[in-house]
Amino acid sequence: MSNEGRAPRMRSSVSRMAAASGMEWLKSVKGVILDMCGVLYDSGEGGGQAIPGSIEAVKRLMDSGLTVRFCTNETQSTREQFVQKLRVMGFDISVSHVFSPAPALVRILRERRLRPHLLVHDGLMAEFEGVDTSSPNCVVIGDAAEKFSYQNLNEAFRVLIGQEKPLLFSLGRGRYYKETDGLKLDVGVFMTALEYAGDVQAEVVGKPAADFFGTVLKDMSLQPHEVVMIGDDLVNDVGGAQSCGMKGIQVRTGKYRPSDEQHASVRADAYMDDLAAAAHAILTSSPTTER
């Protein structure tokens, strides 16, 4: 309640500070990694809707000569279906520029010859085609949403506790995300529940894991300090990117809450009203791009 009341004053003062000083780093930006849900669009009924100005902002960034990649912890559908959904909304994005946790995890499962018990959304199952799930020796959880029932969590727990060394993989570790009808619990909550129940520490695949960002940076052929991550999740997008040596901008869309700007441990390099504002700030600063 009191937070809401303070928000407008705090917001404008931070913007002024950001504009006045400390933004020199924008000039050395050569690449941009964009979070998707909450930055490009708000999810919800019928797939969701584009955030005003974001379609044009993505186009301007890509046309500018900056290297642009997309990094999502989306695990309710396959990467192909997900990109298709965004194309329908009007975003011109190709699958090869989108990085999501499931394909990365499938590589890990193959390398380590693991057979997962899958607690993931039905829409994601196709990513695991050909993966051996018989007599499972590890548990994989993604954003299973309605499938997070007591029964299904209990099944996953029993697989974990039945292992000599329980192994839990989590596709991201988000706390919550925003849909058009309100905030929803994300996979990190159920990861934490299973960690507590089985006394294990999950291996996180996806943001904010350094390996995941590392794969994206490699694909961009850029150094971390040349890249800025733009996201609505302060801890996973901004904090995760900063831990890898990148800059992080939090946009005030999606799951953003005013209290994020007073977070105890993570401070964004800049807070911007939305992707359009962030793109404008980058494009008017960076020497490699349009002026």
Partner 1 sequence: MSLRSLKAVLVDLSGTLHVEDAAVPGAQEALTRLRQSPVAVKFVTNTTKECKRTLFERLRRLNFDLQEREIFTSLTAARNLLEQSAVRPLLLVEDSAREDFTGIETSDPNAVVIGLAPDHFNYQTLNKAFRLVLDGAPLIAIHKARYYKRKDGLALGPGPFVAGLEYATDTRATVVGKPEKAFFLEALRDLDCSPEEAVMIGDDARDDVAGAQNAGMLGILVKTGKYRAGDEGKIDPPPHLTCDSFPDAVNHILDHLLGSKQSEN
Among 154, 180, 201, 262, binds partner 1 (CB under 8 A): 154
Q: Decide if 282 contacts 29 (C-beta within 8 A).
A: yes
Smallest CA-to-CA distance from 276 within 253, 256, 257, 258 is with 253
193 part of the interface to partner 1, by CB under 8 A? yes
- The residue range among 63-71, 81-89, 134-142, 181-189 that interacts with partner 1, by the rule CB under 8 A, is 181-189
Query: Side chain identity at 118, as an amino acid letter?
Result: L
Instruction: Tell me the per-residue interface mask from 194 to 233 with partner 1, x by CB under 8 A, - otherwise.
Output: xxxxxx----------------------------------
Q: Which is nearer to partner 1, 98 or 140 (CB)?
A: 140
* Cα-based angle 216, 103, 65 (whole degrees, multiple of 5): 30
Q: How far is the CB of 193 from partner 1 (least distance, A)?
A: 4
Instruction: Report the residue number, 91 or 157, with the smaller CB distance to partner 1.
Output: 157
Residue 151 binds partner 1, judged by CB under 8 A: yes
Residues ≥6 apart with Cβ < 8 Å to 144: 119, 120, 121, 152, 187, 190
CA proximity to 250, closest of 236, 226, 271:
271
DSSP string, 196-207: HHHT--PEEEST
One-letter amino acid of 87 = R
- Give yes or no for residue 7 binding partner 1 (CB under 8 A): no
Which position among 1, 24, 135, 164 is part of the footprint of partner 1 (CB under 8 A)? 1
Binding mask 9-38 for partner 1 (x = CB under 8 A): ------------------------------
Least Cβ distance, residue 194 to partner 1 (angstroms): 7
Q: DSSP class of residue 153?
A: H
Which of 41, 82, 148, 177 binds partner 1 (CB under 8 A)? It is 148
C-alpha distances in Å from residue 287, one per residue of 162, 166, 172, 232: 57, 50, 34, 26
Residue ranges in contact with partner 1 by CB under 8 A: 1, 145-151, 153-154, 157-158, 161, 175-176, 182-186, 188-190, 192-199
